[in-house]
């Protein structure tokens, strides 16, 4: 009963954790879309109004010919037409996000309309959510085509964020291939938001990697370019990354040809593993920026489920043969199965709001607690049967250890 209550509680909490990104991400995308539109409007206003005023004043003062005035107006019209196209693109994107959000709200409303978790409709709804979690995992793992195909096959394209993950993976892959251009463009587009969130470490690391690659070549022209690059892009971060900048300056004295002889700190800077570090850092920063969980949703669901089912007996050294970890049948505890036992080893136990203990509890010297009547009944059976223990001894039903009754203590539950 306690396990059922705990499972129900974790199930309700997991809905908040697993389904929150359904609406949070579209909200963040709409907000960014609005900010982009606002930036376009302000920029064009700053250009158009003064240009129109100057053109009108010049025309009235006869400072320009009619042809020059018309050419100036044509240039402004052309610019406004381009501005209109940009706004139309943003409007179409917003409409698509709103349509997607509507379907996601309906998906959550379907859950709200289910009267009980025992209802067959909940099983159907849960299956859709499981498909969504699998797609999310595939996209995060870089299997974009597999994730897209699964989403299309299950008809849940509007419940997953294919475009967002595909674009993220594209930039991450470019970093793994030793290219910083696309990542720097992304940083430039989101510089204001990154600064507000205090996520300025990514751009510094990218600029530092550019510097390292220039130094790696050992070509004099490139080394000079690296020095200018450091003054322009690294020195502004001196307040927060002074140690890294000093180390980068000292890198000039170490040639990659003497890689084995150089100190470990400079080996790390020259190491090609930094590209993987940059890729991981970009993904983490990207997810933080658009309010995506850094962990796959499937991992969160598994953690909740494993925690709800896990008991101390699942990893006990004295587990009975009925809970053999090598068994995969449905008769045993799922956590004790081969597939899940090791996976659940470091997962915390579920929080139980109610505890159930035997009456008149006593504690054995090994710390295990049982009801006195249960131990006395076991002792009578042993003495009356095979006679393995004397009447002054008590056996632990789980471990088989034998203790004296004098060593047993009564437990008082407060």
pTM (two decimals): 0.72
pLDDT at res. 91: 94
Among positive and negative, which fits the CA dihedral 153, 27, 84, 36?
Answer: negative
Virtual torsion, Cα 117, 118, 121, 125, nearest 10 deg: 40
Query: Alpha-carbon Rg of the chain, whole angstroms?
Result: 33
pLDDT at 313 (0 to 100):
73
* pLDDT for res 4: 43
240-271 pLDDT tens trace: 889 999 999 988 888 888 877 888 888 889 99
pLDDT value at position 390? Answer: 52
Low-confidence ranges of the chain (pLDDT < 50): 1-10, 12, 320-330, 387-389
187 C-beta neighbours (distance < 10 Å), count: 20
* 21 contacts 159 by C-beta, under 8 angstroms: no
| DSSP H helical ranges for 142-289 | 144-154, 162-176, 181-189, 191-197, 201-217, 220-229, 238-250, 264-270, 273-289
Cβ-in-10-Å burial (0-12, 13-18, 19+) of 118 comes to exposed
Cβ atoms of residues 326 and 336 within 8 Å: no
pLDDT of residue 352: 67
């Amino acid at each position: 009963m306690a396990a059922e209550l705990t499972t129900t509680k974790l199930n309700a909490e997991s809905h908040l954790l697993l389904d929150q990104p359904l609406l949070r991400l579209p909200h963040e995308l709409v907000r960014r879309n609005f900010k982009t539109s606002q930036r376009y409007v302000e920029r064009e206003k700053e250009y158009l109004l003064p240009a129109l005023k100057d053109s009108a004043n010049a025309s009235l003062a006869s400072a320009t010919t009619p042809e020059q005035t018309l050419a100036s107006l044509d240039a402004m019209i052309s610019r406004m037409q381009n501005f209109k196209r940009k706004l139309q693109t943003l409007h179409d994107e917003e409409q698509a996000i709103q349509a997607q959000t509507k379907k996601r709200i309906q998906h959550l409303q379907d859950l709200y309309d289910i009267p009980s978790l025992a209802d067959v409709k909940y099983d159907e709804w849960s299956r859709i959510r499981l498909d969504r979690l699998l797609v999310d995992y595939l996209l995060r793992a870089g299997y974009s085509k597999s994730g897209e195909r699964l989403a299309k096959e299950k008809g849940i394209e509007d419940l997953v964020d294919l475009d967002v993950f595909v674009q993220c993976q594209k930039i991450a892959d470019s970093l793994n291939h030793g290219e910083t251009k696309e990542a720097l463009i992304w940083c430039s587009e989101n510089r204001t938001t990154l600064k507000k969130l205090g996520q300025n470490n990514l751009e510094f690391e990218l600029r530092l990697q550019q510097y390292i690659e220039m130094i790696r070549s050992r070509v004099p022209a490139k080394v000079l370019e690296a020095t200018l690059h450091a003054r322009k892009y690294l020195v502004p971060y001196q307040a927060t990354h002074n140690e890294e900048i000093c180390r980068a300056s000292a890198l000039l004295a170490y040639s990659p040809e003497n890689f084995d002889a150089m100190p470990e700190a400079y080996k790390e800077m020259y190491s090609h593993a930094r590209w993987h570090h940059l890729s991981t850092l970009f993904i983490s920063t990207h997810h933080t920026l658009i309010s995506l969980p850094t962990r796959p949703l499937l991992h969160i669901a598994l953690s909740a489920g494993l925690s709800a089912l896990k008991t101390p007996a699942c990893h006990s050294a004295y587990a009975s043969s009925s809970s053999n970890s090598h068994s995969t049948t449905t008769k045993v505890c799922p956590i004790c199965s081969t597939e899940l036992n090791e996976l659940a080893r470091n997962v915390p136990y579920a929080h139980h709001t109610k505890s159930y203990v035997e009456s008149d509890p006593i504690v054995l010297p090994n710390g295990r607690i049982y009801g006195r009547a249960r131990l006395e009944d076991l002792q009578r059976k042993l003495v009356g049967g095979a006679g393995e223990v004397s009447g002054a001894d008590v056996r632990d039903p789980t471990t088989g250890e034998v203790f004296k009754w004098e060593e047993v203590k009564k437990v008082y539950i407060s």
